[in-house]
Structure 1
């Protein structure tokens, strides 16, 4: 089976923080439904996490002359922030894409990428 990461790059942190318990439950229910749809197509969610507090993020990058730079927050050039992800395994990419379509009910953007195998 091939591993993929299913990412949520456009969830609004302020909206998620202000969400009601019912709104949060609707997101959890949608995420659960995705897992069920994926399982019905022969795949599985094998990991994942919700990411919070992008304001507490730190960016570490190589600077001029190989100096290490640590800055507060994500890259300033980033218009979108990653709010969570699933790691999934599935033999059929099209089946994964089909199952993932349900996720846009709770996440404005869903991005799927294959995981490189080393």
Structure 2
């Protein structure tokens, strides 16, 4: 089985505008996503919701100096809000399951690079 990371971008301001009921509806979509993964034979190996982008620290190395700044590295409205790590032998089935999460923001799916020689 290959491993895939599902990256979940979101707009922090839009998330906050949803309020508790709207946010709970989004969490319900994620519970349904996990159920679909299990039904499809995919293995949910990990994942997490991330704290808001405003809590991030960005570290850069410039001219031999370490520079730390508050916030994410870009000012884009959409920032990474969470991720899943999924093991599957059915990448197309994984894409179908991810479509449930792609209603508000696009979902990025990336295979985890393998460097073994098998």
Q: Same fold (TM over 0.5)?
A: yes
Deviations 1:39-76 (A, max 9, x none): 12210222111112211211012111x22111121113
> Structure 1's 76 and 24: CA in aligned 2 closer, same or farther, altered over 3 A?
closer
Once residues 114 and 69 of structure 1 are traced to their aligned partners in structure 2, the CA distance between those partners, rounded to angstroms, is 31
Alignment match, 2:86: 88
Once residues 6 and 90 of structure 2 are traced to their aligned partners in structure 1, the CA distance between those partners, rounded to angstroms, is 14
Give the 3-state SS of the residue equivalent to 2:79 in structure 1: coil
Once residues 6 and 59 of structure 1 are traced to their aligned partners in structure 2, the CA distance between those partners, rounded to angstroms, is 22
Alignment match, 2:5: 5
Unaligned segments of structure 2, at least 5 residues: none
The answer on whether the counterparts of 1:3 and 1:114 sit within 8 Å (CA) in structure 2 is yes
The answer on whether the counterparts of 2:12 and 2:77 sit within 8 Å (CA) in structure 1 is no
Unaligned segments of structure 1, at least 5 residues: none
Alignment match, 1:29: 28
- TM-score normalized by the length of structure 2: 0.85
Higher strand share: 2
RMSD: 1.8
Is 1:63 the counterpart of 2:62 in the alignment?
A: yes
- TM-score normalized by the length of structure 1: 0.85
Once residues 15 and 29 of structure 1 are traced to their aligned partners in structure 2, the CA distance between those partners, rounded to angstroms, is 17
Once residues 94 and 100 of structure 1 are traced to their aligned partners in structure 2, the CA distance between those partners, rounded to angstroms, is 10
> Structure 1's 21 and 80: CA in aligned 2 closer, same or farther, altered over 3 A?
closer
